[in-house]
Amino acid sequence: MTNILDLVARVLISALFLLNGIFKISNYDGTIGWMEGFGIPGILIIPAIILEIVGPILIILGFRAKIAAGLLSLFCIATAVIFHNDFSDQMQLGSFLKNTALAGGFLFIFINGTKDFSLDKKF
């Protein structure tokens, strides 16, 4: 049962980022404009998309999941601080807390790794 719950948890925490990576591709110019509105160079959209697509796939498969989770945890903290720092806006505060909570979830994977239903355990 623990192995199944571990896999389900990895899928659930990863789904958001996988979908957001795909959405960034489908709204590439709009996302660049939004990022540049915060003073972030638009070229950084490329590594963000790569991380948001490759990282979740690695976590779901359980291949190099600790590395992917560590990078996604840092990504969550960075995006919380850069894009969701207007705490007078309840939506921004909620997004900040969501990102920090996700960072915590990724830290659990970073620290503990994956259970038996993962490629890391098979090799």
Helix or strand holding residue 121 (H, E): helix 119-122
- Asked, for residue 118, whether it belongs to a domain, the answer is no
The pLDDT score that the predictor gives to residue 7 is 97
pLDDT tens for 38-94 read 999 999 999 999 999 999 999 999 999 999 999 999 999 999 999 999 999 999 999
Distance of CA 28 to the CA centre of its chain: 18
Asked if 107 and 69 count as a contact pair (C-beta separation under 8 A), the reply is yes
The counts of H helices and E strands in the chain are 6, 0
- Asked, for residue 121, whether it belongs to a domain, the answer is no
Domain that holds residue 105: 2-112
The pLDDT score that the predictor gives to residue 104 is 98
- Asked, for residue 120, whether it belongs to a domain, the answer is no
pLDDT tens for 21-38 read 999 999 999 999 999 999
The pLDDT score that the predictor gives to residue 123 is 83
Distance (Å, rounded) from C-alpha 13 to C-alpha 88?
27
pTM score, whole prediction = 0.94
| DSSP annotation of 44 | G
Q: pLDDT-derived band of residue 109, with 50, 70 and 90 as boundaries?
A: very high
Domain count, the chain: 1
- Asked, for residue 52, whether it belongs to a domain, the answer is yes
Amino acid at the residue 95: S
